[in-house]
Structure 1
Amino acid sequence: MTRVVLFGAPIAVAVSVYFGGGGESQRPKDDPSLRVSPTAFAPDPLKAGSPAQQRERDDRIDALPAGLADPAKKEIAARLVASAENSTLDWKSQYGAIEDIGDGNGYTAGIIGFCSGTNDMLQLVEYFTREHPDNPLARYLPALREVDGSDSHEGLGAPFEAAWAKAAEDPEFRRAQDVMRDRIYFDPAVRLAKMDGLSTLGQFIYYDAMVLHGPGLGQDGFYGIREAAMKSADTAAEGGDEKAYLNAFLDAGRTVIGRQKTEQTRDSSRIDTAQRVFLREGNMDLDTPLTWRVYGETFRIGS
């Protein structure tokens, strides 16, 4: 994990969207009414503009093909991410997983690698506790708030690990993990990828980058990587070649990975021998069968 803390100052983002057309690998066609001004500053480019503009933009995005949000494609995405995050395709077995992998983010746990040091674990436990106040993790909220932004285990340790595993036996905690995965990572990544005119593969590349680097606004977070890529190549929504843009995005993400502190976190195989392979093969719809390598292991989906 190279994920950065989920805090940050606003970033300038220019977003163009285009809609329409049937056929394979459907992507939107240009629609000036959905463009966000390059001078608009907002932490979330999906919320830029007036409420009316936001509603119109949301309606246009909702009218697009499902892409990665299609249940079958979302399942593929979950398995791809699990191969990198947990060395398994069985992502549903990971709700109770918890460990410190030594990446400076404290505990990493659950289906998406929620981290005690990067705010998303805190958001998850706060959300679950609002819904279910008597859950086993509720007593650890003060400690989670204290360690947020660090790799500390102060006030957590083995009892917290046991409480996480116990909570994961509850279907409601598993549902809460699904909800927060989608709220923090999946939905923003997929919707923004659609705004950038990207195919299902492009949507997955955004999602995996959001998971790996976090939705941070600095140069090492997702939005910083996107900004760097947009300086090198036009998005499909801006009339650019999608493959060229995605290669620029992967290059920018790989640069961030290369700045990490440990050999483990500097491994870029989830780009080099997975996403880049799909892109080189032109598998823009992320169709199966898929074969890829990540962190030295080979994985397959489909025959």
Structure 2
Amino acid sequence: MQLTPTRRAVLAAALAAAVLAGSGATSAGAAGTVNLTDPHKKEIAMELVSSAENSSLDWKAQYKYIEDIGDGRGYTAGIIGFCSGTGDMLDLVKHYTALKSGNVLAKYLPALEKVNGSASHSGLGTAFVNDWKKAAADPVFQQAQNDERDRVYFTPSVTQAEKDGLRALGQFIYYDAIVMHGPGNDSTSFGGIRATAMKHAKTPAQGGNETTYLNAFLDARKAAMLTEAAHDDTSRVDTEQRVFLKAGNLDLNPPLHWKTYGDSYSINN
């Protein structure tokens, strides 16, 4: 969800284009397993992310979420934590305006342009926060959030995971990583974390063992998280994803039981 200012806007489209140039995401895996693009699996993924990001499985309640969490990225908001300082909130409001001109957030586009790359609230403030919450009741804005989540995060990460020969759990592990660290190739971005993992283990597509590779990826992910104070609670790796991996649940099948930040969650079907 959070990443170095301006990284998303510069790299998201390039990552999506590069990944989508390969095979498209499909629901059925090569071995007949169900991929994360399956509606039920995708719902599980949304709930897992929400447990870590919002301490709730009700991810659809987060369309209206907005606050400055003090991480230097301005406002964090919506179902995937779009940030005013990192470009993806700007892209979201542009997309919303393309779908529905004259919406309640369109007037903030000049301010969002100016604050991009900073923690500034200039031209935004309480009025913007209130209008974001109003917009969240609009089904068109909800669709815009879904669209941008998929374009920037879900589709590129899941498609890359498929190309690496990973099943639903590995696809989710990639998705959760890109949500937090963003696209890109530096050491603390999704591409950099993947590159580090591949130095220690081969992907299944390269002939490697899936569990061994995913452990290497989670090791690299955890190391990246520990470089930032805002991410130094690694429970979404330690007591969520690693739990599923240790159980051998590579297809991410319910029932699922895990903890994030000490709170317990379950998905039973």
Q: Determine if the TM-score, normalized by the shorter chain, exceeds 0.5.
A: yes
Match of 2:18 among 36, 47, 53: 47
Deviation of residue 143 (structure 1)? 1.0
Q: What CA deviation, in whole Å up to 9, does each residue of 1:216-252 have, x standing for no partner?
A: 2221111111111111110010000111111111111
Match of 1:237 among 181, 205, 214: 205
C-alpha contact (below 8 Å) 1:269/1:295 kept by paired residues: yes
Distance 1:266 1:48, change over 3 A: closer
Separation in structure 2 between the aligned mates of residue 278 and residue 92 of structure 1, nearest angstrom:
24
Could you say what secondary structure the match of 2:264 adopts?
strand
- Which residue of 2 is the match for residue 287 of structure 1? 253
Provide structure 2 residue ranges, at least 5 long, that are not aligned to the other structure: none
Could you say what secondary structure the match of 2:251 adopts?
coil
Could you say what secondary structure the match of 1:134 adopts?
coil
Provide structure 1 residue ranges, at least 5 long, that are not aligned to the other structure: 11-41
Deviation of residue 188 (structure 1)? 0.6
Matches within 5 A, 1:104-253: 104-253=72-221
- The higher radius of gyration belongs to 1
Separation in structure 2 between the aligned mates of residue 223 and residue 194 of structure 1, nearest angstrom:
15
Could you say what secondary structure the match of 1:69 adopts?
coil
Separation in structure 2 between the aligned mates of residue 156 and residue 283 of structure 1, nearest angstrom:
44
- Which residue of 2 is the match for residue 277 of structure 1? 243
Q: What CA deviation, in whole Å up to 9, does each residue of 1:57-95 have, x standing for no partner?
A: 436x54853500101100000000000111100011110
Match of 1:97 among 48, 58, 65: 65
Distance 1:182 1:247, change over 3 A: same
Separation in structure 1 between the aligned mates of residue 9 and residue 76 of structure 2, nearest angstrom:
18
Match of 2:8 among 6, 15, 38: 6
Number of aligned residue pairs: 263
Match of 2:223 among 255, 258, 261: 255
Structure having the higher helix fraction is 2
Match of 1:83 among 28, 43, 51: 51
Give runs of ≥4 in structure 1 deviating > 6 Å: none
Could you say what secondary structure the match of 1:219 adopts?
coil
C-alpha contact (below 8 Å) 1:8/1:218 kept by paired residues: no
Q: What CA deviation, in whole Å up to 9, does each residue of 1:162-195 have, x standing for no partner?
A: 1100111110000110111111100111100000
Q: Which one-letter code corresponds to 2:234 in the other structure?
A: S
- Which residue of 2 is the match for residue 14 of structure 1? none
Separation in structure 2 between the aligned mates of residue 43 and residue 177 of structure 1, nearest angstrom:
20
Separation in structure 1 between the aligned mates of residue 63 and residue 11 of structure 2, nearest angstrom:
31
